[in-house]
Amino acid sequence: MTRSSSRTPIRRKAAAAAAAAALALGAGLLASAPAEAATCGVSGGRLYCGNTPDVDMFRYASFSAPWVDTLKTNPSVFDCWTTGEWHGGGNSTWYGAYGDVTGRFGMVPAEVVYTSSAFDANPGAYGLRHC
């Protein structure tokens, strides 16, 4: 019995340590998107921000617009913003940038740029020019 009772605190400590590690890992995963969003900023009228890599870019702010390029880099530099087709980000804000394959200018929906919803609501208020 003494042997069992001496193992119980060790097992509890091990379980507590494992649970704490899992929580810390989970918190890190949950915090990764906001941390990247926190690194977004406008300088010289351009938005420097993290984004989903390897996304299609369109001639204008619509998924039915012709494809012009692919945005492969993360982070990226966005030259301007506009409104267009509603997308999965819950708004109609799109950002313009130069692609990484053909070098052509195109638009991506805000859902692939790690900006906050407050930023997406009015990017011009932060100094990003309208396209």
Query: Each residue of 38-70: pLDDT tens digit?
Result: 579 999 999 999 999 999 999 999 999 999 999
| Secondary structure of 34-48 as H, E, C letters | HHHHHCCEEECCEEE
Encoded tokens for 104: 């052509």
**How many angstroms separate the CA atoms of 106 and 108, rounded?**
7
Spatial CB neighbours of 46, under 8 Å, sequence gap ≥ 6: 77, 78, 79, 128
Q: Average pLDDT, whole number, for the chain? A: 79
pTM over 0.85: no
Give the CA diameter of the chain.
76
According to the model, what pLDDT value does residue 39 have? 78
> Is the Cβ–Cβ distance between 114 and 40 less than 8 Å?
yes
Place of tokens 């009015």: 122
